[in-house]
Structure 1
C-alpha cells in the first residue's frame, strides 16, 4: 500500500524539505531556497497541490500565504522511511540497516551505543 509520501513528485519533495527546514515559508521564500527553481507561479501551483494532497496548510499574513506542514517532520520521516524499506529492501529492516552501516567509513561510538540500545529494547518487546 503506498504511503502518503509516495504521492510526491521530485519537486514536491524538494519543496516539502525546504518547508520542514524553515518551519514555514511563503512561495517567494521557497523560490529563494531552491536551486534550479521553477517560476514563482509554478512554485505557487506546487504549494496549492501539496495543500490539496494534505501535506501543507496555510495561514494568511497580509496578502501573503505562509505554508506550514500538516504533520511533524519526525512523523513524516518515519512514514517515508517505511516506504523506502518496503520499496528498496523488500520490507527487510536488517537489509536497510546493513546498507546504511556498510556505506559509512566510520560509525561513532555514540551511534553504535545508540544502535545497541535500540536492538536491546526491541529484543525485550
Structure 2
C-alpha cells in the first residue's frame, strides 16, 4: 500500500468526471463541474498533475488534448479502501465493519444486505 497514490479532493472531483465521461477535453470537464465552476486553467493544471501522477493519459488532436483515465474507478476504490483498512483498522475488515456499526453508519437494512452478501459468497 505504500506506493498507492491518493488523490486530493480537487483531483478526485476531476477523476470522478473523467470516470463518468470515459474521456473528455478540459472544457467538457469544466462544463460538468458544479457551480461555482473552477477556472479552465485550474482544471487544466489539475488534469496535467493527474497525468504526471499516472492517473490520466491523453490523445492529441492538433493542439488540443482529450484526456482519459489510466486507472479505473474500481482500481482506485480498491487502493483507497486498502489504505483505509491498513492505516486505520490494522488490516481487519471486522474492525472496520464494527466501527461503522458502532458509529451508527449502517442501518439494519444495510446490515441485512451485508449478511446476504456473506451468505452468497460462502
Query: Unaligned stretches of 5+ in structure 1?
Result: 121-125
In structure 1, the residue matched to 2:119 is 116
Structure-1 residue corresponding to 2:72: 72
Aligned position for 1:123: none
CA change 1:32–1:2 in 2 (3 A) is farther
Alignment partners' CA distance in 2, 1:57 and 1:63: 15
Deviations, residues 96-123 of structure 1 (Å, cap 9, x unaligned): 23344552222276553222333x2xxx
**What does 1:1-125 correspond to in 2, within 5 Å?**
1-6=1-6, 8-35=7-34, 36-100=36-100, 102-105=104-107, 106-107=109-110, 111-118=114-121, 120=122
Pairwise CA RMSD of aligned residues? Answer: 2.3
Deviates more, 1:95-104 or 1:15-24: 95-104
Quote how far apart the aligned CAs of 1:51 are: 0.3
For 2:31 and 2:100, the matched residues in 1 are separated by 32
C-alpha distance after superposition, 1:64-118 (max 9, x if no partner) = 3211111222222111110121233232211223344552222276553222333
Q: How many residues are aligned here? A: 118
Distance 2:89 2:53 in 1: 27
Task: Structure 2: state its 5+ residue gaps.
Answer: none
CA gap 1:23/1:100 in 2 versus in 1, 3 angstroms = farther
Deviations 1:21-57 (A, max 9, x none): 2211211122122224321001001101110111000
